[in-house]
Each structure stands twice: as C-alpha cells, then as structure tokens.
Amino acid sequence: MDELKRAHDGALALPQSGHRKATQIRWGAGLLLLTAILAGEAHSQSVSSQTPNALTCGTLAAESSRTSSSSRWTISGPSGKTTETGVLRSGPRFECIDGAILIVEFTSSAGHSFFEAYFADGTNLGYGRQQVDRRGGRFVLPIQAKARIAAPYRAAFDYHCRLEMPADPIQPATRADCIF
C-alpha cells in the first residue's frame, strides 16, 4: 500500500513540475508575442500620422487633425481662416446648429473645457465650458451673450442668469429671458 501511495505521489509530482515549466514557457511565449505586437504597432506609427475630422456648416467649415502629441483645427468662414494647435485631453468636437452656427468644444490637457460659437456673419463668441450648459439638446449660454449675438442667431440658444459679474451685470429687463 505504501508503494502504491509513493508511486501515486511520484506520478503527481512529475506533472506538477512539468506543468510549472509549461506555464513558464507559455508566459514567456505570451510576453514575446505581446512585445512583438506592440512593437509592430509603434513602428507603423509616425509623427506625421493624423486622424482628420471635418464638418461643413453653411458658409462655415471646420477641420481638425491629431498627431501623437497635439491637435490642430482650422475654422474657415466669411471672416477668413483661424487655425489653432493645442495639446488636448479631448476634442475638438464640431457641431452645426441651424446650418449657420458652428460650435467647437474641446478640453485642454490641463482639464479646462472651452466652447466657441462661430456665426455665418463672421462673428464668434467663446466661453469656458463651466459657463455653458446643455439642456434638451440646446446650448444654454450666459444671458450676457445674447446682446453679443446677432438677432438672427439668438433663438438658437437658451440663456441662464447664473453668471453675475460686476463688470458685466445682468440687466433686470433681460432676466425674463433666462430659463434658470
């Protein structure tokens, strides 16, 4: 009986040590394969590889490209071309409202989010994203922005009265236009 037990234990011991070697070989092969895949992907990338993104909105056009380290976007319209470059966490993201207002949103690598609206008449308006809300698919801007937007484009936005600034106070007559 003791011999049978020793033989059984010995039989189990051999596969376990063999199993350990097989596991080590599999791990080594897996690591080698992963290294080869990652090296191949890194080798196929170049500094000039870019991912384009474009949108046309009436007379306005936006185009962006991204390299491994930065983003570049160009806005073209009646007032000419504006090109910006930055290291971004996300974006730029483009949206067209009513075929006449081009919205650009992005977040810098420092975490600051920005909103800019370009209008078909050549004007533009920008705010930090913390002053802009979105409700029911519509952008909600500070009420102070309404006076800076040409009359044909004002109805495309809703307005709020949260941004009270001494240098740009909210006029009592305009408070009725605020949704909150």
63-113 confidence digits (pLDDT tens): 999 999 999 999 999 999 999 999 999 999 999 999 999 999 999 999 999
Q: Are residues 29 and 58 in the same domain?
A: no
The count of structural domains within the chain is: 2
35 residue type, one letter: T
Range of the domain at 94: 53-177
The model's pLDDT over 31-75, given as tens digits with 9 standing for 90+, comes to: 444 444 444 444 444 444 444 599 999 999 999 999 999 999 999
Q: Say whether both 68 and 128 belong to one domain.
A: yes
Report which of 70, 63, 68 is spatially closest to residue 44, judged by C-alpha positions. 68
C-alpha distances in Å from residue 59, one per residue of 62, 107, 118, 156: 10, 26, 10, 17
pTM for the full predicted model: 0.69
Q: Do 110 and 140 belong to one domain?
A: yes
Lowest-confidence region among 7-11, 17-21, 40-44? 40-44
The identity of residue 174, as a single letter, is T
List all residues 6 or more positions away from 173 whose beta carbon is below 8 Å from its beta carbon. none
The residues near 84 (Cβ < 8 Å, ≥ 6 apart) are 72, 73, 74
User: Are residue 16 and residue 87 in the same domain, yes or no?
Assistant: no
Question: In this structure, are 57 and 13 located in the same domain?
Answer: no
